[in-house]
Amino acid sequence: MRKIIAGNWKMNGKLENLLEIKKISNEFARSKIEIIICPPFTLLSAASELAKNVYIGAQNLHPENEGAFTGEISANMLVDLGITHSIIGHSERRNKHNETNEIVARKVKISLEKKLQTIICIGETELQRKENSTLEILEQQLLDSLANNTNFEKLIVAYEPIWAIGTGLIPEVSEISKIHDFIRVRLVELYGSNASNIPLLYGGSVNGSNAPEIFNVNNVNGALVGGASLSFEKFAPIIRAIENTSP
Ligand code: PEP
């Protein structure tokens, strides 16, 4: 199974921050880990020119290839730049930009069609967790967000409990384990045995201290990292932690 560490810079980063990508590239030049950094659109071109052994991904894309969509960026344009990965359906896009599962499904479809490695995010709110409906919510998000897609060769699923994003809170390791096992089983039941190769990432307040125990969980194949991906000093220990887990 691939091991993946993806960094989501969100709306952070200026030209000077490209240095962090350079440092990660230099430090992990021979790493076997699939390291992905998703800076804002403004840095994609420069980042992909300087990154070596680090993939550069987009945080979003439009579900159409081209046309009268002011301010939007298409999968075609990303591929043209040499971008290899995308993040689709992050909870901030779902909640702050009104992205429904239907929109997410259209984005996933075009992203996969354009052969981008596509990280689809799913996760429950604090209230849904308290109501014990996490598994139900995740299953519905998977079903609806992947609707009309049949080829999952380039799909990556990120489980990101919304209450854990940027809060410093993480679920108990046993909870992460139970949920990742559930996602794996449902993916295989829904989409067949090939789904056993879909990497499953955990996301939400991952840092250098909690990463080792998270990466030891069965069916956790990596992490999607927000805040701690912005600097070499915080991101590098997370990559080292997964390098140190057994194959
Ligand atoms: C995220 O936004 O996907 C995320 C996991 O953020 P953080 O690591 O800062 O919680």
Which amino acid residue places its CA nearest to atom 5 of ligand 1? 204
Tokens of 191: 């989409």
**Beta carbons of 24 and 37 less than 8 angstroms apart:** yes
Annotation marks residue 85 as catalytic:
no
Cα distance between residue 203 and residue 165, in whole Å: 7
- To the nearest whole percent, how much of the chain has pLDDT over 90? 91
Beta bridge partners of 122: 159
Least confident of 2-11, 173-182, 183-192, 205-214: 183-192
**Beta carbons of 163 and 125 less than 8 angstroms apart:** yes
Q: Which of 224, 229, 230, 231 to mutate to test the pocket of ligand 1 (most atoms within 8 A of CB)?
A: 224
Residue 209, domain extent = 4-243
Considering 34, 124, 160, 180, which one is annotated as catalytic?
A: 160
pLDDT recorded at residue 152: 86
For residues 135-143, give the mean pLDDT. 94
pLDDT recorded at residue 86: 98
SS3 per residue for the chain: CCCEEEEECCCCCCHHHHHHHHHHHHHCCCCCCEEEEECCHHHHHHHHHHCCCCEEEECCCECCCCCCCCCCCEHHHHHHHCCCEEEECCHHHHHHCCCCHHHHHHHHHHHHHCCCEEEEEECCCHHHHHCCCHHHHHHHHHHHHCCCCCCCCCEEEEECCHHHCCCCCCCCHHHHHHHHHHHHHHHHHHHCHHHHHCCEEEECCCCCCCHHHHHCCCCCCEEEECHHHCCHHHHHHHHHHHHCCCC
For residues 133-152, give the mean pLDDT. 89
- To the nearest whole percent, how much of the chain has pLDDT over 70? 100
Whole-model pTM: value is 0.95
Considering 34, 90, 99, 180, which one is annotated as catalytic?
A: 90
226 CB less than 6 Å from ligand 1?
Answer: yes
For residues 36-54, give the mean pLDDT. 96
Q: Is the dihedral of CA 198, 203, 214, 53 positive or negative?
A: positive
Split into its structural domains, the chain has a count of 1
pLDDT recorded at residue 105: 93
Q: Which residues contact 127 (CB under 8 A, 6 or more apart)?
A: none
| 45: Cα within 13 Å, side-chain hemisphere | 4
Q: How far is the CA of 225 from the centre of ligand 1 (A)?
A: 5
pLDDT at 66 over 80: yes
Q: Tens digits of per-residue pLDDT, 77-95?
A: 999 999 999 999 999 999 8
pLDDT at 150 over 90: no
Cα distance between residue 66 and residue 99, in whole Å: 19
For residues 111-116, give the mean pLDDT. 95
pLDDT, averaged across the chain: 95
**Beta carbons of 214 and 206 less than 8 angstroms apart:** yes
Q: Is the dihedral of CA 118, 201, 59, 232 positive or negative?
A: negative
pLDDT at 246 over 90: no
Least confident of 129-138, 183-192, 236-245: 183-192
Which amino acid residue places its CA nearest to atom 2 of ligand 1? 226
For residues 87-114, give the mean pLDDT. 93
pLDDT at 247 over 80: no
Annotation marks residue 90 as catalytic:
yes
* CATH number of the CATH domain containing 230: 3.20.20.70
> Please, what is the Cα angle at 153 between 82 and 137, to 5 degrees?
105
